[in-house]
Amino acid sequence: MPQKRNTADREQNTRETDGRVSLKMLADKLGLSTTTVSLVLNDSPAASAIPQQTKDRVFAAAKFLNYRPNYLAKSLRAQRSFTVGVIVPELSDGYSAMVLSGVEDYLLKAGYFYFVASHRHQTKLIEEYPHMLFERRVEGLIVIDTPYTQNLQIPVVAISGSVNADGVTSIALDHEKAAMLALQHLKDFGHRRIAFIKGQTFSSDTAIRWKAITKAAKKLGLTIQSKLVSQLEGNSPSPELGYVAAQGIIATGAPFTALFTFNDVSAIGAARALREAGLSVPEDVSIIGFDDVYSAAYQNPPLTTVRQPLWQMGKLGADTILKRITTGSNGPYPKRLTVEPELVIRQSTAIAPSANFKKATR
């Protein structure tokens, strides 16, 4: 009987007055220490020494009692917010969405909350958002394809582009390798007259990628003709920008057998412009995109593209910002981390046509 009373007492006291189950109450319910329960629930490396049977008991009890960590109490005790700010150009384009997916997966698993702000390339918002998030006590900031020139007293990770400001870790693709992979592939297929669509002037990657392309073309003995170079204009995430840019190249009348675009979204628009001009992909013109967004493999034809490890870049950014938060603002930090591209060959590229370039017909 005394044992039953003790059990009943623990059942009755598993909830606080607001209905929440505390960590201590959960530990008492299980007959374990709060340290053990905390290690298990937080998937701490030290939990590897805890028997799996014990772990299973902890997770089962937490689920049954609907245990939720009290982050407010944790924040007050530690004088921390356990929150990270994330700034993106917009949430609708494939690039930002895929990077953000890696960021949020890692932060949520680590028990961090995050705020996301979309600036849509508005200069005022690009300048204001870091300060607004700082005022909301974020402990770190991740900026995705976004300029950053402020000097806030929190760690910052910039994904895409090169930011030289103090306190910033840049995570960037090896653009020289990316350009070489794409152009070598086209050259191996016999393409010599290659057209290019550059990114918008505001994109963090435009200048550095174009420099890498010109360097790779020179090394491979490929000539870049000015008539065959167009640029995306506008800030819409729609394939329409690539459609318009490709129309501009076609209108010059200069022959080309391949097109290397700034991103997959513009490649999709460019493919439509080519078809409307009476040109087949890849029989008349091969197309290579960039990024490898989710829809690239499901185009008609499936798109050959230079894959950026977007999800992994987001995960690396989140991992880096949390390590820097733990180290402290005065601790050492990496200035630059580089990730590797991969050429994904699908059906939008083929051997260059041996006949003269087929003139566009209306």
CATH number at residue 25: 1.10.260.40
Q: Report CA Rg, the chain.
A: 26
Q: Which residues of 254-263 are buried (b: 16+ CB within 10 A; e: fewer)?
A: eebbbbbbbb
Q: Do 31 and 85 fall into the same domain?
A: no
Q: From CA 225, how far away is CA 240, in angstroms rounded?
A: 24
The neighbouring-strand residues paired with 85 are 115, 141
Q: What is the pLDDT along the chain (362 residues), one digit of tens a residue?
A: 444 444 334 433 444 444 677 888 888 888 988 888 888 877 666 778 889 999 899 889 888 888 776 655 554 454 567 899 999 988 776 788 899 999 999 998 888 889 999 998 888 999 999 999 988 889 999 999 888 888 888 999 999 866 777 789 999 999 999 999 999 999 999 999 999 999 998 888 899 999 999 999 999 999 999 999 999 998 888 899 999 999 999 999 999 999 999 999 999 999 999 999 999 999 999 999 999 998 999 999 999 999 999 999 999 999 999 999 888 767 788 899 999 999 999 999 999 997 444 444 33
What pLDDT digit, counting tens, does each position of 303-344 carry?
A: 999 999 999 999 999 999 999 988 876 778 889 999 999 999
208 within some domain: yes
Instruction: Examine the domain organization and report whether 169 and 183 are in the same domain.
Output: no
Same domain flag for 179 and 297: yes
What six digits make up the tokens of 7?
Answer: 């059990």
Please tell me the chain's helix, strand, coil percentages from 3-state DSSP, rounded to the nearest 5.
45, 15, 40
Structural domain count of the chain: 3
Question: Which residues span the domain enclosing 23?
Answer: 2-69
CA-closest candidate to residue 152, choices 171, 164, 163, 168: 168
